[in-house]
Amino acid sequence: MTPEPTGIATWSTPEWMAGAVSWMDTELAAAGLRRTGPVTQPHLRAWSTVLTAPTGQGPVWLKAPGPRAVFEVPLYELLGRVVPDRVLTPIAVDLDRGWLLLPDGGPTLHAAGAGDAELAEMLPRYGQLQRDLAGEVDALLAIGLTDMRASAMPARFEEALEVARRLTADEEDRAAVEAVAALRPEFTEWCHRLAASPVPSSLDHNDLHTANIFADGTRFYDWGDAVVAHSFASMLVALNFAADVPRLRDAYLEPFTDLAPRAELVAEVELACRVSKAARALVWERALAADPTGFERAPLLTLLAVGDPSWLTLGA
């Protein structure tokens, strides 16, 4: 799979738009659908662009991920095979171009004003999705998801440090990065403890918040930040949207309670979130590789959060 050139400079050209609209119309016709209005481009960022258009059966959405997130296209095919009730079924995919055409999923939990009650129902469903996908780790890695499993994270920590050092602006920044670097022994020990866990590695959405979950609370989307990691790493973002963190953490853990005593699982959530900050710093770097405008310091700030007393601090 070698996608065509991507990025804002490409996606904003009339030539690219014309090709994308032509493909959309062709695939809609093959699916028995017809576009009933103009195509618009509501999302144009360094890491992806999204087009949308009305049809007789509701809006459709064409997503073109950036070159380092193009795994999202075959990922939808894998998810549709293993957990079809947890994702949208694509109308069409183009692996060569790295394009994905999706139906509308309705409002998101965010748009519906969801709170802890809705999240408490959703999080165990997401945890079960991870249990269901635990046997697909090799397939996930093969389609291009980055390996952020606990065994890989000491090396990823070093990569994140190098990224952060390139982004330092002054002596204060440099001192802060070296303070995090000094946590290397503790970080490595956290990784060893997670690697020995009975909790499996699986798919980590890496940006699991209410705007990426449909209001029915059962389906998830926008997988462009996904990695393979300790399952509990997903809680770093998700629990930042909780008013009652213990309640939602415990709800999420329900599908895992057969694996270890609850107290051990709770401790692992905190460890996995601490370690996943380094992974998230690298995901930021991946997303911003083509154009970091507006988010230049995000990888740096995210890595610095490793040293924060709170295991839930995101940094950026």
Give residue-wise pLDDT tens across range 151-195: 999 999 999 999 999 999 999 999 999 999 999 999 999 999 999
Task: Give the pLDDT mean for 19-46.
Answer: 97
Q: Is 1 part of any domain? A: no
Q: What is the tens place of the pLDDT at every residue in 39-95?
A: 999 999 989 999 999 999 999 999 999 989 999 999 999 999 999 999 999 999 999
280 in the same domain as 252: yes
- Residue 1's pLDDT band, with cuts at 50, 70 and 90, is very low
Same domain, 139 and 197: yes
CATH, residue 48: 3.30.200.20
- Cα 259 to Cα 12, 198, 200, 233, 265: the distances in Å are 49, 6, 10, 17, 9
The residue-averaged pLDDT of 219-242 equals 97
Q: At CA 311, angle to CA 309 and CA 316, rounded to 5?
A: 95
| Strands of 227-230's sheet in order across | 147-148, 227-230, 201-204
Q: Kindly tell me if the per-residue pLDDT of 304 is higher than 90.
A: yes
| Dihedral angle computed from the Cα positions of residues 20, 25, 30 and 33, in that order, rounded to the nearest 10 degrees | 130
pLDDT band with cut points at 50, 70 and 90 for residue 38:
very high
* pLDDT at residue number 6: 77
End-of-domain residue from the set 59, 78, 103: 103
Same domain flag for 57 and 187: no
- For residues 268-273, give the mean pLDDT: 98
Same domain, 85 and 151: no
Q: Are residues 156 and 190 in the same domain?
A: yes
Boundary (domain end) residue, out of 103, 136, 151: 103
- Asked whether residue 174 falls in the same domain as residue 34, the answer is no
Burial class (CB in 10 A: 0-12, 13-18, 19+), 292: middle
Q: Element (H or E) spanning 63, and its range?
A: strand 60-65
Residue 108 falls inside a structural domain: no
* 242 and 152 part of one domain: yes
Position 316 scores a pLDDT of 86
Evaluate whether 259 touches 299 at the Cβ level (below 8 Å): no
> CB under 8 Å to 184, separation ≥6 — which residues?
157
Q: Containing domain of residue 24, as a range?
A: 8-103
Helix (H) or strand (E) holding 41: strand 40-45
Task: Quote the pLDDT of residue 294.
Answer: 87
Q: Which two tokens stand for residue 68?
A: 């380092």
Q: What is the pLDDT of residue 4?
A: 63
Number of domains in the chain: 2
Work out whether strand 99-103 and strand 60-65 pair parallel, antiparallel, or are unpaired.
antiparallel
User: What is the rounded CA–CA span in Å between residue 45 and residue 159?
Assistant: 24
Choose the final residue of a domain: 58, 79, 103: 103
And the tokens for 219?
């389906």
Tell me, yes or no, whether 86 lies in a domain: yes
pLDDT tier at 314, thresholds 50, 70, 90: very high
